[in-house]
Amino acid sequence: MDELADFGAVVLVVAGGVLLALVASKLSDRFPIPAPALFLLAAAATPVVLPDVRTVERIGVVALIVILFDGGMHIGWRRFRRAALPIASLGILGTFATAAVMAVCAHFLFGFDWTTAWIIGAALSPTDPAVMFSILGNKSIRGRTGTILEGESGMNDPVSIALMIGILEFATEDGGSVLTIFTNFVVEMAVGLAIGIAGAGALLIFMRRVQLPSEGLYPLRTLAAAGVIYGLASVSHGSGFLAVFIAGIALGDLDAPYKSQIRRFQVALASLAEIVVFVALGLTVDLRELLENGVWLDGLLLAIILAFVARPLALAPLLLPLRLRMGERLFVAWSGLKGAVPILLAAFAILAEVEDARRVYEIVFVVVAFSVVVQGSSIPFAARRLGVRMRQA
């Protein structure tokens, strides 16, 4: 049948693309370029462009749920509590400060109105868990530095997403105010935190007391529970992303039946989610058009400002009181890698139909490409130069 043949071609392309992505990830062991950068740029270089941003946005949301839940389990409660204060300060205050600095730069240097400038700032404020977990996941960094970076990348995503949602509501709805943004943010964080903790407790009881007929069902149960936690938080007007991240942290160090099998399944699924989200987001950009309209230059300038000015300036007051060596502080400031989450936030702006949304999206894409390629590739070199010990775990 022609229908089966057509669908077979789709399966061939998708499966072949995944295999190529896995081969590309192997190249990152020999060359310093992170695997997510290869996925993103390879997809953007293809002649195929996906115009349906809403579908890609939903793919990104599902992928981020998996990545944040796995990242939380990887960190675990023991590691998290030793660096809880710096993770919270960098993840919340650092995110707001970075967004503010970038908004000022976007307004005065590129002529964006203040609302659009804050949209750009919010989109570029978070570090990316997929990139950070990909680079740091198979490496061990001495002290709290690695935990701080991983924890920050998981914490500041829900913060930046809540901030972006508030700004978009302010931009598109009548009667919006700064107080409304602040109120919505507090509610989202509080509800997400509460449901994440409660969901982790309920899941642990369920895991220990309810037996399933097959060993292979236990990882699926945990994955389904993560989806339930996200969904409950979202429909309760809370941050579903914060909820799944907190639930992952709470479950990370606890004993449960078939825990090792669950962890292996989550790691594999998070790796697949990383490939899918970067490829999908890369397919939404036409590189030829981006180069022709000159947006790449605006994005490159903002990327340089973000890496060398905005993030170090925003984080300096927060890093100063921490018991870290100067080299470790500089390493944390430099390692604020951008990735799928900023592009996903820029996609929210397109879906909200705000002014200059497409230009914002393309600028954010260029900033992300610079971050994962240039900054991501420099992480091992920066660690050596700054005296931060990094080795294979």
Q: Residue by residue, what is the 3-state secondary structure of 83-141?
A: CHHHHHHHHHHHHHHHHHHHHHHHHHHHCCCHHHHHHHHHHHCCCCHHHHHHHHCCEEE
Q: Against a cut of 0.85, is the pTM above it?
A: yes
Q: 12 lies in a domain?
A: no
CA–CA separation, 258 and 221 (whole Å)? 11
User: Alpha carbon 60 to chain centroid distance?
Assistant: 10
In a domain, 5, yes or no: no
Reported in sequence order, the residue ranges of the chain that DSSP labels E, i.e. its strands, are 139-141, 390-392
- Let me know if residue 313 belongs to a domain: yes
How many structural domains are present in the chain? 1
20, part of any domain: no
Q: Which amino acid is at 129?
A: P
> Is 141 strand, coil or helix?
strand
Residue 140 is assigned to a structural domain of this protein: yes
CA distance 215 to 19: 27
pLDDT tens sequence for the chain (393 residues): 566 776 676 677 667 666 766 666 666 566 666 777 777 877 787 776 666 788 888 888 999 999 999 989 988 899 898 889 999 999 999 999 999 999 999 999 888 999 999 999 999 999 887 777 666 655 566 667 888 888 898 899 899 999 999 899 888 877 667 787 888 899 999 999 999 999 999 988 888 888 888 888 889 999 999 999 999 999 999 999 999 999 999 998 888 888 888 889 988 888 888 888 888 888 888 887 787 778 889 999 999 999 999 999 999 999 998 888 899 999 999 988 888 889 899 999 999 888 888 899 999 999 999 998 888 888 888 888 888 877 655
- Asked if residue 106 is part of any domain, the answer here is yes
Residue 52 lies in a domain: yes
Task: Measure the N-to-C terminal CA separation of the chain; round to a whole number of Å.
Answer: 50
CATH code at position 76 = 1.20.1530.20
> Is 24 part of any domain?
no
CA distances from 27 to 23, 130, 145, 250, 256 (A): 7, 18, 26, 34, 36
Domain span at residue 294?
Answer: 32-392
The alpha-carbon radius of gyration of the chain (Å, integer) is 20
Short-list 167, 109, 161, CA closest to 303: 109
